Chain A
């Protein structure tokens, strides 16, 4: 148990080395065959080795400066982020989505997931509002936090629950510049989002 954090860090170094980068072109993109969005600018996509998160990570200037996270579909009792290997399934690290959750509870789920992932920093949420996402009633909210290195970030999530599953897009970017620059693109992704139904 005591050695586990070292192994995690070592694993992380490996993960960084093993991450693959892909190009997201400014044209309609189908994500995991579940959500279609239409970016107007090019992104780099970062693909980490397994275990895979539910969120697909895109960035323009690097993930420390900005991340456009696309959530194609999150089902009942699933977490946004993949459990570290060897984690106890009965006590998941990250909170689980439930299809019965109300919008304020989903906001809590997303904020708490981020808080845990960012070394237990407090995440301040605001502006939770009803909106339309992928042609269905949805919601949106803004959030802010400071990393443990005291870099200030802003973020916005736009998404919705349809047929018991959550989908959405989320921007996390430095408050000083990148958030304002990429916010219009987030709005574009949200406005062009279309959920793709499973045919099975």
Chain B
């Protein structure tokens, strides 16, 4: 469907297609060995076209409105990658993509994408560094290039098959077949993922981070996934469709970490995210995946991350879900949030909405007034005023 109003998730289907295809077409590219720092493919060589495709995609991404450009945040993440990548630092460029899902990606030309959902879920700098190190591992081991080479012959066959499909079922089928081929080049086998995990762990350990942070990333994802299990009919779990199981990774990484210790840099991480944290929370809430959001915000709250913001987030989950008992819980979280520093003005708005629904007009009006005092240019100010 080319509809603007893509109710069946047309565009999402495009992305998801890649993920699903990855699952079905995982390659077992032969190891090429480590890339030399600063290396580029030979012009006209077999992988030059792959890099050119990635370069084209990077030009598009660079201009995208969905890239986070907050200077403090971008320089912080780029600095982390530079520190981890060492001699490869000049070859890697980082783009923070505003997408509320746990993911990061590495292109063969050195473009790294970090999704904001990943940043929200990391409890500290060490956890984020573990994921970034993992992506650097894919790059320096040339996993994409290896996959590309392994499917080149398959590509020729598939192109032929695509032509056949076009004749038999129309050009749409051929496009699907070609998309599947492209997706396969960017898929990683489970062995490649394990190799990247080991490299990531090595990189964080060498940079003074606690190696255990790598396992903790996956332990948290296991718990979040368990919380969300009943939300999974949506088939959107792109990341896990193509990676080794989180439990396996957590166990392996814990073993690899051994007894080594290091820094987590929790406060530095939260400080670096700064005002972006509210955006990350709001984007997660907008998905209305209440079970996972509830688990996530509860965990981040328990971690001590920005208590005012996390209490606000927990209140919002309850208000938006509106199951029996949720209004009472929401009101309590809002009240706790508004007593904390770092709480967004919207906490007062949420409290007002809940109290109004509970026929507590005086409390509702007081909350709305406070909201309008704190945010006089709010986009809903005219209607909120009509409640007073």
A100 contacts partner chain B, Cβ-Cβ < 8 Å: yes
The digit string for B1-44, where 1 denotes a CB below 8 A from any CB of A, is 11111111111111111011101100000000000000000000
A117 to chain B, nearest CB (A): 6
B206 within 8 A of A: no
Once the chains bind, are A12 and B13 in contact (CB under 8 Å)? yes
Q: Given that A2-B23, A16-B2, A87-B233 are contacting pairs, would A119 and B15 also be in contact in the complex, using a CB cutoff of 8 Å? A: yes
Q: Which residue of A lies closest to B228 (CB)?
A: A91
B322 surroundings in chain A (CB, below 8 A): 98
Task: Return chain A residues, CB-CB under 8 Å to B65.
Answer: 146, 150, 152
Q: Cβ of A136: which chain B residues have Cβ within 8 Å of it?
A: none
- Of residues 150 through 195 on chain A, the ones whose CB sits less than 8 Å from some CB of chain B are 150, 152-153, 172
A166 to chain B, nearest CB (A): 15
Q: Name the B residues within 8 Å of A104 (CB-CB).
A: 349, 353, 380, 383-384
Which residues of B sit under 8 angstroms from A16, Cβ to Cβ? 1-3
Q: A95-B320, A100-B357 are in contact. Are A148 and B383 (CB under 8 A)?
A: no
A42 beta carbon closer than 8 Å to chain B: no
Within 8 Å by CB of A128, from B4, B101, B241, B382, lies B382
What are the residues of chain A within 8 A of B286 when measuring CB–CB? 111-112, 115-116, 120, 122-123
B63 interface contact, C-beta 8 A = yes
Taken together as a complex, chains A and B put the C-alpha atoms of A36 and B16 apart, in Å, by 39
A9 touches B3 (CB 8 A): no
A84 interfacial by beta-carbon distance below 8 Å: yes
- Is B287 a contact partner of A87 (Cβ separation < 8 A)? no
Nearest Cβ distance between residue B252 and chain A, in whole angstroms? 22
| CB neighbours of B10 from chain A (8 A) | 9, 12
Is residue A60 within 8 Å, beta carbon to beta carbon, of the partner chain? no
> B7 touching A53 by the CB < 8 A rule?
yes
Q: Report the bound CA distance from A34 to B266 in whole Å.
A: 56
* Residues of chain A with a CB closer than 8 A to B332's CB: none
Proximity bits, B37-74, A CB within 8 Å = 1, else 0: 00000000000000000000000100111100000000
* B373 on interface, CB distance cutoff 8 Å: no
Closest to A91 in B: B231
B340 within 8 Å of A (CB atoms): no
Q: Is B100 an interface residue (CB 8 A)?
A: yes
Query: Which residues between 103 and 157 of chain A lie within 8 Å of chain B, taking CB atoms?
Result: 103-105, 107-108, 111-112, 115-130, 139, 141, 146-150, 152-153
Q: Which residues of A contact B356 (CB under 8 A)?
A: 102
Instruction: Collect the chain A residues with CB atoms within 8 Å of residue B384's CB.
Output: 104
Chain B 230-260 interface residues, beta-carbon cutoff 8 Å to A: 230-237, 241
> How far, in angstroms, from A46 to B16 measured CA to CA in the complex?
25
Q: 1/0 per residue B149-192: CB within 8 Å of A?
A: 00000000000000000000000100010000000000000000
Q: CB-CB < 8 A to B282: which residues of A?
A: 122
CA distance A81 to B66 in the complex (A): 25
- Interface size range on B against A: 35 or more
How far in angstroms is the closest Cβ of chain A from B335? 19
Q: Does A4 contact B (CB under 8 A)?
A: yes
Q: How far is the CA of A124 from the CA of B52 in the complex (A)?
A: 35
Judging by beta carbons under 8 Å apart, are A126 and B379 in contact? Answer: yes
**CB of A4, distance to nearest CB on chain B (Å):** 3
The reply to whether the CB of A40 lies closer than 8 angstroms to some CB of chain B is no
Contacts A6-B20, A9-B176, A129-B383 known; A148 to B5 CB distance under 8 Å? no
Nearest A residue to B238 via CB reads A5
User: A residues within 8 A CB of B13?
Assistant: 5, 8-9, 12
The smallest beta-carbon distance between A128 and chain B, in angstroms, is 4
Minimal beta-carbon separation of A44 from chain B (angstroms): 12
Does A38 reach chain B (CB closer than 8 Å)? no
Given known A-B contacts A87-B234, A130-B383, A116 and B16 have beta carbons under 8 A apart: no
Whether B3 and A148, one on each chain, are in contact in the complex, defined by CB atoms closer than 8 angstroms, is no
Across the interface, which residues of A come within 8 angstroms of B382, CB to CB? 127-130
B24/A119 in contact, CB under 8 A: no
Most B CB within 10 A of own CB, among A1, A19, A105, A152: A1
Identify the closest chain A residue to B380 (Cβ): A128
Contact A8 B16 (CB under 8 A): yes
In the complex, given contacts A95-B288, A102-B353, A122-B286, what are 5 additional A-B residue pairs having Cβ atoms less than 8 angstroms apart?
A2-B20, A3-B23, A82-B7, A84-B8, A150-B60
24 pairs, CB–CB < 8 Å, chain A vs chain B: A2-B241, A3-B20, A5-B16, A5-B20, A6-B17, A6-B21, A9-B10, A48-B7, A57-B5, A84-B9, A87-B233, A90-B230, A98-B322, A104-B380, A107-B380, A112-B286, A115-B286, A120-B101, A120-B286, A120-B287, A128-B383, A129-B382, A141-B379, A149-B11
